[in-house]
Amino acid sequence: MPLTIIKGTHDDRPYLQAIRIMMHELYPDLFPWPSPHRYPDSKRQKIMTDKHFFFLCDENGQCRGKVHITPWLKTNEIKDYSQWIIFGLFVHPDYQRQWRGKKLLQTAMDYARNHIPIKTLHLTVKASNSKAIGLYQSLWWIRTNDDDKWPIKMIYKFF
């Protein structure tokens, strides 16, 4: 089944809602419903406006995955726009191991390279998630910590 990557924003509520529901249904212990928010609406809105979303959709418009990138928050109010975080890479299990996650991540990285004054991307991943670690390493991400405890931190530097 062909899938398309769509560039979205924080205003794409139907896509975001569909992804949240799917993640909760697949992994209820990791993604409780309703999802608790850490910030009041006004602050969440300010934080969300800098995010860039990419959705993986099938020909019926159903979301099957997503990734977003956001500026590094040095404090609650100060953002470092030269450093960004890859956050929430997710591909539905029926579509994993088909290069879809790699393409989704590459799209976000290419967008960052071409549209954002960026120096580095950061991410964290569970030590037990060897598939994700292999994916990141295949795209030249470098581990920044040596222990096998949560979280494993990785970085990608733009030249």
- Which domains does the chain show, CATH number per domain? 3-157 (3.40.630.30)
Q: What is the pLDDT confidence band of residue 91, given thresholds at 50, 70 and 90?
A: confident
28: left (phi over 0), alpha (psi -120 to 50) or beta: alpha
Which whole-number Å values give the CA distances from 135 to 20, 35, 45, 99, 132, in the listed order?
23, 28, 31, 9, 5
In the predicted structure, residue 23 carries a pLDDT above the cut 90: no
pLDDT, position 49: 53
3 residue type, one letter: L
pLDDT, position 43: 45
What's the sign of the alpha-carbon dihedral 12, 18, 21, 23? negative
C-alpha 138/C-alpha 48 separation (Å) is 29
7: left (phi over 0), alpha (psi -120 to 50) or beta: beta
128 residue type, one letter: S
Q: What is the pTM of this model?
A: 0.74
Across 115-139, average pLDDT? 88
User: What phi, psi does 93 have (nearest 5°)?
Assistant: -55, -30
In the predicted structure, residue 15 carries a pLDDT above the cut 50: yes
Q: What is the pLDDT confidence band of residue 48, given thresholds at 50, 70 and 90?
A: very low
